[in-house]
Structure 1
Amino acid sequence: MDWRPNRKSSLSLHQQIVNWMKQQITRGEWPVATKLPSQRSLADSFGINRSTVITAIDELIADGLLDTKVGSGTFVSNNTWNVLVASNQPDWGNYVRNGLHEPNLQTIQDINLHETDTTMIRLGTGELSPSLLPIKKIEQTLQSIAFDAQSLGYSEPKGDKRLRQSISDHLKEKGVIASPSSLMIVSGGLQALQLIAVGLLQKGSLVLHESPSYINSVHPFQSAGMQLTGLSKQSRETIPKQIKKINGKQKASLFYTVPTFNNPTNATWTREERLELLSLCKKEQVPIIEDDVYSDLWFEKEPPPPLKSFDDDGLVLHIGSVSKTLSPGLRIGWIAGPMPVIERLADIKMQMDYGSSALSQQLVAAWLSQGEHSKHLDWLRGELIARRDLTLALLKQHFQGMAKWQIPQGGFYIWLELCKPIVNPTLFKQALKEHLLINPGYIYEPNNHTHLRLSYSYASEEQLAYGIQTLSEIIRRLI
């Protein structure tokens, strides 16, 4: 609530509240069945005593504008007076409830809400700290670009030609052969998944994925009406064998994986595992979506080549992005795949947003072609290694005997496994009270109550030290 009663007004506080709430209802901002915040929350928001809020609400209930349901709260009433007032108002609540796109879990909505709060210590955020963004270099690169009216207009459906050539050259260094014609620019990796969901799959298609998985936290396939089945690397059977067994009963439409520095587990598939997966999916005719946004962030040892580098049959759709290495705000990613697929997805993208930002495309093209990306990655890896080592030392100091973890070989994350299944909304809310923002395991795997995704890429060293110590104290209390 961004409104507060005026203490200097001649009207009483409770009458100001009554008048304001009536306006919210008559203007249609609070449609029928809208649930009001709790009395305590309203009092805090208005900066007044709870008794004043209760008096105002009681008056509105008496007028028939509000209704109270025991154990459920206070709602905008559906009585005759309100129906007359709202005769021209559609039932927006019904639209909201029945929209096609799946809502986020409440925890994810809370994370998204609190990420803009500068008082929060973001221990789970999967992006680079502002201190790791090459602001000066980006400014210099922008100044080196000769813009013209055409370069800042709409690009062709697949994206800027120069950028696609730069990405093609970049992928070649990883062993991935993708001509500019078989590449398209997207507004980040998530849009790539959304385009695949609505452009290539039928409603009800079976999508297999490695579990726990990033796609459980963003819903690109669920919202398009797909069935999702998670496969675990911890199972007695390998994931390729699990795919074969499932595919024998119901034809799978594709398999989604983050094989290098997985989100959220940070696990990396070996070369042998990649070849086994590719061989099995080729036999079973199950296409693979390879989400490869973290592979440039290796530390001491370079990871195995991408799945796409072994793909001679057009089986793999390869997704990349500069969001994790350069800047998330640029919103530039790409898909590499068979040309008919790319042309189909490019057509759909044009229907959605008519192309990604021309300015961002020009910048990333120059950044890649001028060799700035390689130099930046060398520096960035060193910074992330220092942050990783600090986080590992803090975990050893505060979580020894209370949790288990692996040493990351790249990427952003530590998949922290607690000794007790206490990762639940209560832990999340307790952390919020201490101004800690965490990513609990159940947003990636519904029944996972033992894991937290910790990130060392965003919080400062001071925030990591304070945050990890405070988090350990909260968990010890709950245990």
Structure 2
Amino acid sequence: MDWKPDFSSEIPLYVQIKDSIKLKISLGEWAVGTKIPAQRTLADQLGVNRSTVVTALSDLIDEGLLEGNTKGGTRVVNNAWNLLAASPPPDWSSYVQAGTYYPNQPAIQQINRAEFQEGIIRLGTGELSPDLLPSAQMKKIFEESSLNPFALGYEEPKGNLYLRKQITAYLQGIGIHTSPSAILIVSGALQALQLISIGLLQRGSSILLESPSYLYSIHVFQSSAMKLIGLPMDEEGVRTDHISRYKKGHNASLLYTIPSFHNPTGTLMTEARRQDLMTICADEGLPIIEDDAYRELWFDNPPPLPLKARDPNALVLYLGSLSKTLSPGLRIGWVVAPEPVIERLADIKMQNDYGSSSVSQWAAAEWLGRGLYQEHLVFVREQLQMRRDHTVQLLQTHFKDIAEWSVPAGGFYIWLRLTLDIPMHMLFERACKEGVLLNPGSIYSRHTGNYLRISYAYAKQEELEIGLKQLAILIKLLHRE
């Protein structure tokens, strides 16, 4: 609920809560059949005692608007109009449950809600801190827009041609030689995955990927009845010696990988492993989706060339993005692929959203075309490296006896393995109540329950200090219980 009671009002809190729920019911926001949040959840969201919520819900049950039981929770069963209607209103809950797209994992839903709560320390958030986003420079670019005016209409199906030309030039700098006609502009790399899932693959296909992987935390492929088949990793990246057997055993359609500063482990795939991967996939005729969103976030040395830079057989679908480096709000990414694939994905994209924002595409083109993007990357790398070093120092201070980790050479993440046996769901809940938001490893694989994805990219320095210290205390307390 985005509403909060007025603690200074003379109206009792339970009455305010009751009236607020009645309003949501009467407006149809909570339709008949809707399961309302649990009592404890409502109490936490509203900042009141649970007994206050219980009183409000009891009154609504007595009035016939709600119905509660111990197994199914509390649901809306009536509204004022329903009492007068000749036939019952639609049961929207049944429609929601019938939808073919899977809902997020409960933990992901809770994280998405908690990220916008005031005062929360976000230790796992995979995006740049607002302090690192170039807001002033972006404002200046728009103020100077008269020099290169932008249009407010739709762009062509593949995206703004000037932007695609700038991306072509940028990609040449990392060894990828392509043309604007083989590039599709998308609303972030996630949309590229969605387009691939519905445009290139059959329902029921199997996808090979690293385990753990960010792809497990979203349902873009699973919602099309596709199976994710996890390949083990080591310090050099995905274990290529398993690919042939797994492909044959599962009749896999393609392989998805994040070779540079992997999400969530931070692993950088070595040059030798990249060569092995390309050789094996070429021999197997196994296409690759290369998600390269983090490659520019290196610290001391650039990563090896992308897989796409060594792709004479057009095996690789290459995904790039500005979300992790420049601005998540721009929602600009790209796909590099053979032209028939780009034409197919562009056609589907036009059916879905009629093209990414023309204003965002114009802004992205300006950043690339003026050379501002490369200047900004230097700043971001310096800041992220300082944040990484500071976080590692904090881990050495508070976690050296309770966890293990490797120091990443770039990206956002430290993959923290707890060496104490504790219930991770309890750690997640208790930390959240104390204002510390975590990304548990179970989001990224069911086999990594004793891991946490720690991000040094988002939280401020003082927040990292407070949050990591509090987290270490909670872990030790849970271990003693």
Tell me the TM-score normalized by structure 1. Answer: 0.91
Alignment partners' CA distance in 2, 1:322 and 1:215: 19
Residue number in structure 2 paired with 1:128: 128
Residue number in structure 2 paired with 1:106: 106
Once the two structures are TM-superposed, the CA of residue 50 in structure 1 deviates from its matched residue by: 5.9
Alignment partners' CA distance in 2, 1:184 and 1:178: 12
Is the Cα–Cα contact under 8 Å of residues 394 and 468 in structure 2 kept in the other structure?
A: yes
Residue number in structure 2 paired with 1:428: 428
Give the AA of the match of 1:141: I
- Counterparts in 2 of 1:120 and 1:184: CA distance versus 1, 3 Å: same
Residue number in structure 1 paired with 2:332: 332
Deviations 1:167-206 (A, max 9, x none): 0111101101111110010011111111111111111011
Residue number in structure 1 paired with 2:264: 264
Residue number in structure 1 paired with 2:315: 315
Alignment partners' CA distance in 1, 2:190 and 2:418: 29
Residue number in structure 1 paired with 2:249: 249
- Counterparts in 2 of 1:140 and 1:77: CA distance versus 1, 3 Å: closer
**Between the two proteins, what is the percent identity of the paired residues?**
49
Is the Cα–Cα contact under 8 Å of residues 150 and 359 in structure 2 kept in the other structure?
A: no
Is the Cα–Cα contact under 8 Å of residues 154 and 354 in structure 1 kept in the other structure?
A: yes
Once the two structures are TM-superposed, the CA of residue 7 in structure 1 deviates from its matched residue by: 5.7
Alignment partners' CA distance in 2, 1:63 and 1:139: 53
Alignment partners' CA distance in 2, 1:347 and 1:265: 35
Give the AA of the match of 2:128: L
Is the Cα–Cα contact under 8 Å of residues 65 and 82 in structure 1 kept in the other structure?
A: no
- Counterparts in 2 of 1:419 and 1:351: CA distance versus 1, 3 Å: same
The DSSP-based 3-state class of the residue aligned with 1:175 is coil
The DSSP-based 3-state class of the residue aligned with 2:137 is helix
What pairs with 1:343-422 in structure 2 (closer than 5 Å)? 343-422=343-422
Residue number in structure 2 paired with 1:143: 143
Residue number in structure 1 paired with 2:29: 29
Alignment partners' CA distance in 1, 2:313 and 2:295: 22
Alignment partners' CA distance in 2, 1:381 and 1:461: 16
Alignment partners' CA distance in 2, 1:258 and 1:415: 15
Give the AA of the match of 2:440: P
Once the two structures are TM-superposed, the CA of residue 380 in structure 1 deviates from its matched residue by: 1.6
Is the Cα–Cα contact under 8 Å of residues 423 and 451 in structure 1 kept in the other structure?
A: no
Which of 240-249 and 14-23 deviates more? 14-23
Once the two structures are TM-superposed, the CA of residue 82 in structure 1 deviates from its matched residue by: 6.2
Q: What is the total number of aligned residue pairs between the two structures?
A: 476
Tell me the TM-score normalized by structure 2. Answer: 0.91
Which of 444-453 and 131-140 deviates more? 131-140
- Counterparts in 2 of 1:304 and 1:46: CA distance versus 1, 3 Å: closer
Give the AA of the match of 1:173: G
Is the Cα–Cα contact under 8 Å of residues 66 and 77 in structure 1 kept in the other structure?
A: yes
- Counterparts in 2 of 1:32 and 1:171: CA distance versus 1, 3 Å: same
Residue number in structure 1 paired with 2:165: 165
Which of 150-159 and 197-206 deviates more? 150-159
Alignment partners' CA distance in 1, 2:209 and 2:223: 16
Is the Cα–Cα contact under 8 Å of residues 26 and 85 in structure 1 kept in the other structure?
A: no
Give the AA of the match of 1:380: V
Alignment partners' CA distance in 2, 1:398 and 1:95: 48
Alignment partners' CA distance in 2, 1:266 and 1:292: 13
Alignment partners' CA distance in 2, 1:53 and 1:459: 33
Alignment partners' CA distance in 2, 1:219 and 1:239: 24
Once the two structures are TM-superposed, the CA of residue 250 in structure 1 deviates from its matched residue by: 3.4
The DSSP-based 3-state class of the residue aligned with 2:203 is coil
Alignment partners' CA distance in 1, 2:58 and 2:194: 47
Once the two structures are TM-superposed, the CA of residue 240 in structure 1 deviates from its matched residue by: 2.8
The DSSP-based 3-state class of the residue aligned with 1:153 is coil
Gaps of 5+ in 2: none
Alignment partners' CA distance in 1, 2:117 and 2:397: 28
Give the AA of the match of 1:399: F
Is the Cα–Cα contact under 8 Å of residues 238 and 269 in structure 2 kept in the other structure?
A: no
What pairs with 1:137-216 in structure 2 (closer than 5 Å)? 137-146=137-146, 151-216=151-216
The DSSP-based 3-state class of the residue aligned with 1:209 is strand
Residue number in structure 2 paired with 1:287: 287
Which of 48-57 and 220-229 deviates more? 48-57
Once the two structures are TM-superposed, the CA of residue 275 in structure 1 deviates from its matched residue by: 1.2
Alignment partners' CA distance in 2, 1:286 and 1:390: 41
- Counterparts in 2 of 1:175 and 1:238: CA distance versus 1, 3 Å: closer
The DSSP-based 3-state class of the residue aligned with 1:439 is coil
Once the two structures are TM-superposed, the CA of residue 382 in structure 1 deviates from its matched residue by: 1.1
Alignment partners' CA distance in 2, 1:134 and 1:14: 45
The DSSP-based 3-state class of the residue aligned with 2:253 is strand
What pairs with 1:228-247 in structure 2 (closer than 5 Å)? 228-234=228-234, 239-247=239-247
Residue number in structure 1 paired with 2:437: 437
Deviations 1:37-63 (A, max 9, x none): 444555676787766655554454455
Gaps of 5+ in 1: none
Alignment partners' CA distance in 2, 1:474 and 1:389: 23
Is the Cα–Cα contact under 8 Å of residues 299 and 409 in structure 2 kept in the other structure?
A: yes
- Counterparts in 2 of 1:126 and 1:146: CA distance versus 1, 3 Å: same
